[in-house]
Amino acid sequence: MTIKLTRLAAAAALSLVISGTAIAGDKAAVRIPPPPPGKGQIVFYRTGTIMGAAMGCAVNEKGKKISSLGSGRYFILVTDPGRHEYMVKSEAKDVLALEVEDGETQYAMCKIKMGIMAGRPDLRPSTEADFVKAGTDRLVDAEDMGPGPGALRPDEVKAALEKGAAPVAPVDPAPAAAPAAQ
């Protein structure tokens, strides 16, 4: 009886390892569409670690919430080229400044660190390789996105992948340039 249970446990463990490999293989298959012409984009993600799993990581720009990152989630922010500052906060705030270039896809990771009363979000630059390695494979739900412009909703990501380019997401209108003197 003990031998049969040991074999059964070994078979179950092997099954978990095999299915885990398949899942990890699926996670590596996340596709990110290219940014639309004249735009850059940032893939914000959060690993699925235990630390701060119940806490969200709300990413803001210019005081407007773009999206909340739950554990193991990501979103794509299409933005104008130039310097941008993104902020996350709970009991402490963290700011990440990025220089976005036309046609470029950058990556940024939010990690929840130990805090006194609550976890502390830490927003830092990352790489595509780290994103793939993290196994983050679920888009943020549309209802977790804020009113801040540029974050692609899941249906927009799907459409962009089908077309081969990301849709132009609405962005805050820039102040109109003064007409040139003639």
- pLDDT tens-digit readout, 7-49: 433 333 333 333 232 334 444 478 999 999 999 999 999 987 5
- Is residue 5 in a domain? no
Split at pLDDT 50, 70, 90, the class of 167 is very low
- Is residue 174 in a domain? no
- Is residue 54 in a domain? yes
- Is residue 158 in a domain? yes
Number of domain units in the chain = 1
Dump strand ranges (E) for the chain.
Answer: 40-46, 57-61, 64-69, 73-79, 82-89, 93-100, 105-113, 120-126, 138-139
pLDDT, tens digit (0-9, with 9 covering 90-100), for 44-83: 999 875 544 446 688 999 989 999 888 899 999 999 999 9
Tokens standing for residue 35: 């940014």
Task: Please state the separation of Cα 174 from the chain's center in Å.
Answer: 25
Lowest mean per-residue pLDDT among 63-72, 103-112, 165-174? 165-174
- Is residue 33 in a domain? no
Q: Is the pTM above the cut of 0.95?
A: no
- Is residue 50 in a domain? yes
Measure the CA–CA gap between 122 and 65, rounded to whole angstroms: 16
- Is residue 176 in a domain? no
Structural domain including 59 reads 40-163
- Is residue 72 in a domain? yes
What percent of the chain stands above pLDDT 90?
A: 39
* Domain CATH number, residue 119: 2.60.40
Tokens standing for residue 12: 């179950």
